[in-house]
Structure 1
Amino acid sequence: MASLFMNQEDRTRAVEQLFGYTFEDPSLLHKALHLAGSGGSLDGNKSLAQVGDAVLRLALVSEGYEKGMAREHTSRIVDRVGGNDMLTSVGFLHKLDKLVYKNPSQLGGVPPKPMACTVEALLGAVYLDSSKSIDTVRQVMSVLGLVWPELAN
């Protein structure tokens, strides 16, 4: 279903079903789905993506700490799992590009960087909506495949 024809309720239902998480404040979810220039906002989901980037890194770094991993090893995992290439791939894999609100002048698909930003923004939205529960964010990260690789080098 193209995002042009989806209403807010359909988008909310699609993300909640994918994540296995119900938003208390769906407006956070919709802020996360707004690309720059859409919905009257020049920055779109970028501020929320900043929160999501920080919480994603916190979840990964704390897991590295809990596993007793060396700082350098943890940094490589954070760079790999939390990098734009992985975030972009995850976003497209789960068809999040079909759910974003685009700027009306944007033709075609969602570019890679805005897709990565959207995934981060969605994690930020879950974090804020769940009363800043890192465990809830970790559950959503797991659903998306943003997990600590057990046998990573």
Structure 2
Amino acid sequence: MEEENETFLPLQHLRLEDENNDQDQEDGSSSPDIRNEEDELNDEHEEENSKISRVKEIHEITGYEFHDPNLLQQAFTHHSYKEGICPSFERLAFVGDAVLDLFFATDHYSLYPDLDPGKLTRLRAANVDTEKLARVALKHHLHTLLRHDMFLLAAQIEEFEKAVNEYPVHSSGLIDAPKVLADIVESLVGAIYIDSDSSMDTTCKIVKNLLEPIISPASLPTQPVTLLYEICQREKLTLKMRDTWKETGEIEFLIVKEEQEELAVVNNVGRAKYSGKKVIAKNRAALNAYSQIIQMLNHQS
């Protein structure tokens, strides 16, 4: 019968391991579990400071003081932020979207008794569309309170700011507004509604001030493409759109006339280039064309 070989560590080696462990404790080195606990405590401390600061800033903007700071924290947390720290704003934005629709529907119904449902719908839509709400977020610097990990957002907001300076009034399709800016306005409204025990009176007072200037029937913009086709129809001008957006990012509008059963270009009246979205390029080209036709008509008269 073969003897089993057993391996024994020398006593000196065991003593050396004990000494090393004691030395780690003296040096203040932490185990992974201790480090994780420290990270969690730091996150909790950062979270609490963030709540206090955000409550103060929103109170200054809206005049409303939150009873539940956690709701406000959630209203400014994007789903890209640290997982598990706080729920994201999607559910509150869902509520805020419904609250805004109801507010404008009832408010416009009372203010404009002569408007038919179609015009009331267009008026409400203009006051709650992405561009309008994104302008509100930018005006009140709400984007600076948003917690996120979106790498491209800063550049998108910078581009949006430039576009707002170029088109200071609601443009109805000339600006590519970051949707997340509109989302945080909706989530803030939703948070106020929930925090105020579902009080429409409280929420509506804040919404009226927050969303100023509110678009009225007099200031309701018409889409540039609609303006262009209306004036061409009225002046009996034949309009053609040249679409090279996929290749160049450009949309071009031309005035044409029939010559020997063919269309001949009379005037290139509008062009715009915007590679981000085709609809933006089309609207900008239409506005440019509309302006050129107005100048042309004024020159002829």
Q: What TM bracket, shorter-length normalisation? A: 0.7 to 0.9
Deviation at 1:43, TM superposition (A): 7.4
Tell me which of 182, 203, 207 is aligned to 1:116: 182
Matches within 5 A, 1:1-153: 7-40=50-83, 44-67=88-111, 68=113, 69-103=115-149, 106=151, 109=154, 112-146=178-212, 147=214, 149=216, 151-153=218-220
Q: Which runs of 5+ in 2 are unaligned?
A: 1-45, 158-177, 221-301
Distance, in Å, in 1 between the alignment partners of 2:53 and 2:152 is: 22
Secondary structure, aligned partner of 1:38: coil
Secondary structure, aligned partner of 1:7: helix
Q: Which runs of 5+ in 1 are unaligned?
A: none
Deviates more, 1:120-129 or 1:6-15: 6-15
Preserved contact between residue 74 and residue 87 of structure 2 (Cα < 8 Å):
no
Deviation at 1:38, TM superposition (A): 1.4
Distance, in Å, in 2 between the alignment partners of 1:15 and 1:140 is: 11
> Given the two structures, how large is their TM-score scaled by the length of structure 2?
0.45
RMSD, aligned CA: 2.4
Distance, in Å, in 1 between the alignment partners of 2:141 and 2:218 is: 28
* Higher radius of gyration, 1 or 2: 2
> Given the two structures, how large is their TM-score scaled by the length of structure 1?
0.85
Aligned length, in residue pairs: 148
More strand by percentage: 2
- Structure 1 vs Structure 2: percent identity of aligned residues? 28
Deviation at 1:37, TM superposition (A): 1.7
Structure number with higher relative contact order (C-alpha < 8 Å, ≥ 6 residues apart)? 1
Distance, in Å, in 2 between the alignment partners of 1:96 and 1:128 is: 19
Secondary structure, aligned partner of 1:151: coil
Amino acid paired to 2:195: D
Deviation at 1:108, TM superposition (A): 5.1
